[in-house]
Amino acid sequence: MASAQPLGGTSRASLVLSPILDKIFKNAARRNHFNLISACKPAIYRLDAVTDSNNSLSSLLRGFSPSDADKVLHPLALAVDIASTKVAESALTAC
C-alpha cells in the first residue's frame, strides 16, 4: 500500500499549517468566501515547495522570505476577520 504525501509537503511548516489551511479552505468553500479560497490555494502550494533545510529548527517560518511568509499566513488572518464563526474557528485552531 503506497503512502500518500501529506497535503502541502513534508516540511515541519507544511505538517503544521497545511491541515489548518485545508480546513479553512473547506469551510470557506462551503460558505462561498471566494477571497479566502483564493488565498488558501497559493499558501498550500507555497508550503509544498518548502523543505526543512530551508527552515531553521527554531521557527517554522524562519527561512521564508517576508512575501512568502505573508502568503502562508494571509489566509489565517482573513479567516479570523470573516464574520463566519465556523471559518474563524478553523483558523484559531492554529493558536
CA 4/CA 68 separation, integer angstroms: 25
CA 18/CA 13 separation, integer angstroms: 8
Q: What is the pLDDT of residue 20?
A: 87
Q: Are 75 and 24 in contact (CB under 8 A)?
A: yes
The per-residue pLDDT for range 3-37, each reduced to its tens digit, is: 445 565 677 778 888 888 988 998 888 888 888 99
Q: Across the chain, what does the average pLDDT equal? A: 77
Domain coordinates in residue numbering, the chain: 12-92
Q: What is the DSSP letter of 52?
A: G
Q: Are 37 and 25 in contact (CB under 8 A)?
A: yes
